[in-house]
Amino acid sequence: MNSKIVIYHVFTRLFGNTNTNNKPWGTIEENGVGKFADFTKKALDEIKDLGVTHIWFTGVPHHAVINDYTEIGISNDDPDVVKGRAGSPYAVKDYYNVSPDLAKDPAKRLKEFKSLIDRTHKADMKVIIDIVPNHVARKYEGKTNPKGVSDFGFGDDTSIEYQKDNNFYYIPGTEFKTPQWRDGYVPLGGNTPHLSYTELEEIPAKWTGNGSRSPQPDMNDWYETVRINYGVRPDGRLDFDMLPNDFGEKDHEEHFNYWKKRVVPSSWRKFRDVALYWMEMGVDGFRYDMAEMVPVEFWSYMNSSIKMKNPDAFIMAEVYNPDLYRTYIYKGKMDYLYDKVDFYDGLKHIMKGYGWSDHLPVVQNGLQDIEHNMLHFLENHDEQRIASPEFVGNAEIGRPAMVVSATIGTSPTMIYFGQEVGEPAAEHAGFGSPSRTSIFDYIGVPHHQRWVNNKKFDGGQSTPKEALLRDFYKRLLNFTINSEALMGAYREIHFYNKEITENYNHRVLSYVRWSENQKLIVVSNFDVNDHFAFDLKLPVDLMKTWELKEGSYPLKDALYGHTNSLRIENGEGHVAIKLNPLESFIFELKS
């Protein structure tokens, strides 16, 4: 990649919903729902202008829902195995179609999604959708499968727990039972839906998505889903060929050729075919849910097939075990993994006031060989909103963290829709609790809705504070996608200054980024209350690398245009810094 990638992660059903009713467990009629069509040319242009290169449309594949779509041949789902009123996007019911809730005309939903792909491409952005390889909805049912495609589970031998080519694991001689509800939980909040539905009959019971082998999973299990079998026996032994140890160094073509000569489990082929189908439709890449729950050999097979079709396909995944990062990148052929466990979690502690900025350069240095592959974010659908009281209760505290997240590495940056206007996720939507924007219910997203402004997408109802925050994100993200230095070299100057610079401490962070034609000095103040004034120092050897002689060089801040100067004295660089609380500078050296 020649320039930074910025991903706009958007929950598709919530983006264009202008209904502000927000009744807990509200129906689609009561609380409204956004549609594919809401991503108009104007909406997409505004997203693009924010500094975005890729849109991840979350919740597109047809997942289990409560609405009655029997008229177009979709069976109703049992509310006992659907989370929330709108359903979890991670309980996919049909991989060859899209959610009927998202279409103006549910019968033409695939055509409407294809139009959205085309509009997004015209707006000069790439399209990413989810693939959830670890599990599917309990009542998987492909209604529009292409010729020759059979459903997950079709042809399984259900009389035995495991067989290599079974798509599911079974518990012979048992019947699935819904969990014992506790703590006052009742499906749909106790509201009976106005539709006839049949209780799910699952005989024999299958293993649940998170691996529970009980015919009656616990209510905290992923009871709405069933586990996919990738050729892993119940005792953990593997029923497929292992990749040779040196395959981490080989390209996707060699991986592809390796699998071409081998027989792989049925589930592998089915998920590969799903990915190739969506690529044929125009999708540019995928985000994989819980990728580390699936063997890395499968990813080698899947991703090499994808890259053979489109070498530029974009592949990102959730892997939360740092010990596995390199395995999934090199052997699994992943492009990008969430940098959650070290980087995001470290930033979160700093934002909350008790973490030290010292942690971040240590993390970054430890990942230098794979830093490009570690995707940075401050919000996504799984994490708390910055502005929620459960996180820090103030979106402004995200400013320095966002600058650092977006500029410390060459890796992609992801933001979550509404983050740029300080969305606090205060709603009691139904399933789940405030602090995360609900992915299970029909709900309005108030700060974001003010920006949507009755689908004018112009921020017409935004408060001045929301507008200023969005302006900050726009300045920062647009700078990052146009900066050559941010795809170049990195060096922290934090510990050098912490040791010798008066008034500099662990609430501040500083580093430099540079390329042949651009040199940047980044300094951020994470503190909510403290001002800082100090003489920032740049080491002698760095100034030699930058080939700067004694004297003074003008600096200009890439965010808000503040001017400053870099003085070289006795070979060492000096910048007089005055930082307000939560302020950051990205100083560019002007030669």
With beta carbons less than 8 A apart as the criterion, state whether 219 and 184 touch: no
Q: Are residues 95 and 232 in the same domain?
A: yes
CATH code of the domain in which 461 resides: 3.20.20.80
Q: What is the dihedral of CA 16, 432, 20, 15, to 10 degrees?
A: -10
What pLDDT sits at residue 361? 98
Q: Is residue 209 part of a domain?
A: no
442 and 551 together in one domain: no
Mean pLDDT score, 286-296: 97
Residues 460 and 502 in one domain: no
Q: Using CA atoms, how far apart are residues 218 and 180, in angstroms rounded to an integer?
A: 7
Q: What is the mean pLDDT of residues 335-358?
A: 97
pLDDT score of 198 more than 90: no
Instruction: Note whether 300 and 364 are same-domain residues.
Output: yes
In whole angstroms, what is the distance from residue 232 CA to residue 535 CA?
Answer: 59
Co-location of 328 and 378 in the same domain: yes
Of 427, 461, 482, the residue at which a domain comes to its end is: 482
Q: Is residue 553 within 8 Å of 504, Cβ to Cβ? A: no
Question: Per-residue pLDDT tens for 37-83?
Answer: 999 999 999 999 999 999 999 999 999 999 999 999 999 999 999 99
168 burial level (CB within 10 Å; 0-12, 13-18, 19+):
buried
One domain for residues 536 and 434: no
pLDDT category at 121 given cuts 50, 70, 90 is very high
Same-domain check for residues 419 and 495: no
Q: Token digits for 172?
A: 């012979």
CATH at residue 539: 2.60.40.1180
Alpha-carbon distance of 109 to 279, in angstroms, equals 17
**How far is residue 37's CA from residue 22's CA, in Å, rounded to a whole number?**
22
As a whole number of angstroms, the distance between CA 236 and CA 229 comes to 11
Beta bridge partners of 278: none
Query: pLDDT at position 363, please?
Result: 97
Give the pLDDT mean for 249-275. Answer: 98
Tell me the sheet residues that pair with 554: 565
Is 146 inside a domain boundary? Answer: no
Q: According to the model, what pLDDT value does residue 192 have?
A: 77
User: Is the pLDDT reported for residue 390 higher than 60?
Assistant: yes
- Residue 191: which pLDDT band, with cuts at 50, 70 and 90? confident
Q: Which residues are within 8 A (CB) of 545 and not within 5 positions of it... i.e. 6 or more apart?
A: none
- Domain-located, residue 267: yes
505 and 400 fall within a common domain? no
Lowest-pLDDT choice from 124-128, 188-192, 385-389, 488-492: 188-192
Rounded to an integer, what distance in angstroms lies between the CA atom of residue 260 and that of residue 264?
A: 9
Q: Do 390 and 516 fall into the same domain?
A: no
CA 167, CA 153: separation in Å to the nearest integer?
5
Query: What burial class does residue 142 get, using C-beta atoms within 10 Å of its C-beta: 0-12 exposed, 13-18 middle, 19+ buried?
Result: middle
Are residue 543 and residue 558 in the same domain, yes or no?
Answer: yes
Query: Do 453 and 570 lie in a common domain?
Result: no
As given in the structure block, the two tokens for residue 393 are 């209760």
* Amino acid letter, residue 511: Y
Which residues, 6 or more positions from 112, have their beta carbon under 8 angstroms from its beta carbon?
A: 35, 36, 37, 98, 102, 103, 104, 105
pTM listed for this prediction? 0.98
Side chain identity at 375, as an amino acid letter? L
pLDDT of residue 432: 85
Residues spanned by the domain of 115:
6-140+228-482
Task: Provide the domain count of the chain.
Answer: 2
Provide the pairing of β-strand 135-137 with 170-171: unpaired
pLDDT tens per residue across span 332-345: 999 999 999 999 99
3-state secondary structure of 384: coil
Residue with tokens 């002007």: 590
If pLDDT is split at 50, 70 and 90, which confidence band does 503 have?
very high
